[in-house]
Amino acid sequence: MNKRLDATIYGRVQGVSFRHHTQQVANQYHLTGWVMNQPDGSVHTVAEGPEEKLKQFESFLKHGQPPARVDRVEVNWSEFTGEFTRFTIRWFR
């Protein structure tokens, strides 16, 4: 069953290619959505796809990839919307 995961990742997650690695993992799991740096130093992501793949994606978010350091992740699950066609990196506005 398809679901939606909305997560904010805190720690040393900006300036360490965290968004790039997040996009790679999302693409590996065939997820759609986006990832974006936040002004407070966190990273926010929204992803949609099969629940099992989203759980694997969530596991990645909780650990990151060196040199990132994840201190905590706030996750919310909701219903699939189908609004995305691919997984992208978004920029500050």
* Alpha-carbon distance values, 82 to 30, 78, 89 (Å): 13, 12, 18
* Residue 54, helix vs strand vs coil: helix
User: Helices in the chain by DSSP H: which ranges?
Assistant: 18-28, 51-63
Is 19 annotated as catalytic? yes
Is 27 annotated as catalytic? no
Catalytic residue among 19, 27, 69, 72: 19
Catalytic residue among 37, 69, 76, 93: 37
- Mind telling me the catalytic residues? 19, 37
